[in-house]
Amino acid sequence: MNGTNSAVVTLATVLNVEVTDDTLSVDLDDGRTVAIPIGWYPRLAHGRAEECANFQISGAGYGIHWPDLDEDIGVEGLLIGKHSSESATSFERWLRRRRESQPRDAA
């Protein structure tokens, strides 16, 4: 092959998101569905169903934001297989605050 390769890489954008007990599935506008183990994103794994269902497609379609969980995931990270980069210390602090703010069952 002669010459220079010139490729334009365009990321797909998010159309829909579904979170189950074990999987984050993201439908993209290029026809792909990316399925990721929920354990890669601890905040989603610890979220209640209604919190996980409350998402916003952000960044012109290149990201997903869960306001109730303060979680953001980008399409690029999903496509390259990037796990959450949150430190264990940060996640434990978030989890502790979450437990403290939830109402306790009356005994």
Domain ranges (residues) in the chain: 14-101
Closest CA to 40 of 82, 71, 3, 79: 82
The whole-number average pLDDT for the span 97-104 is: 83
Please provide the CATH number assigned to the domain covering 14-101: 3.30.2020.40
Give the pLDDT score at 8: 61
Q: Which residue has the tokens 């010139």?
A: 6
Query: What would the pLDDT profile of 13-60 be if each residue is shown by its tens digit?
Result: 999 999 999 999 999 999 999 999 999 999 999 999 999 999 999 999
Query: What would the pLDDT profile of 70-91 be if each residue is shown by its tens digit?
Result: 999 999 999 999 999 999 999 9
pLDDT band at 101 (very low <50, low <70, confident <90, very high): confident
